[in-house]
Structure 1
């Protein structure tokens, strides 16, 4: 069963944002929490950056994580394909 669109207010890096998305409110809150944590970690490590720079670095870090996971998934799918042949 597909989830309906959910509209929820989340707080990321001290700012409130209204977000609409597919899924549950708790899943969206969890994603917002993950982004907030990553932004705070970057801000702590690089205190001279402004909010926009922190947001861009956070996006790049998340994109890198996604690319690595996609590559890992592709490798696993190839291994699985080899085992079933």
Structure 2
């Protein structure tokens, strides 16, 4: 699979992302990050962009790690159910 170059806008800045993912997927990821940054900015209007990006990354990572833990627990339950 070849790499593609995608241009996306996140929080008013253009970014060029190179990867194997489809354009639609890259746009969806960028939209999620943009939405997360805008939601946090609404609650914390004095944050500069760097701090806003880091806080967004922490929040996104927290969500990811919770989902990962839930996934591992479900897999464990499934394995325990196997005869």
Report deviation, 1:6. Answer: 1.7
Give the equivalent residue in structure 1 for 2:68.
70
Deviations 1:17-72 (A, max 9, x none): 10112210000000000000000001111001000010000000011011001100
Report deviation, 1:5. Answer: 1.6
The Cα RMSD (Å) is: 0.9
* Structure 2 residue matching 1:30: 3-state secondary structure: helix
Give the equivalent residue in structure 2 for 1:25.
23
Q: Which runs of 4+ in 1 moved over 2 A?
A: none
TM-score normalised by L of structure 1: 0.93
* Structure 1 residue matching 2:45: 3-state secondary structure: coil
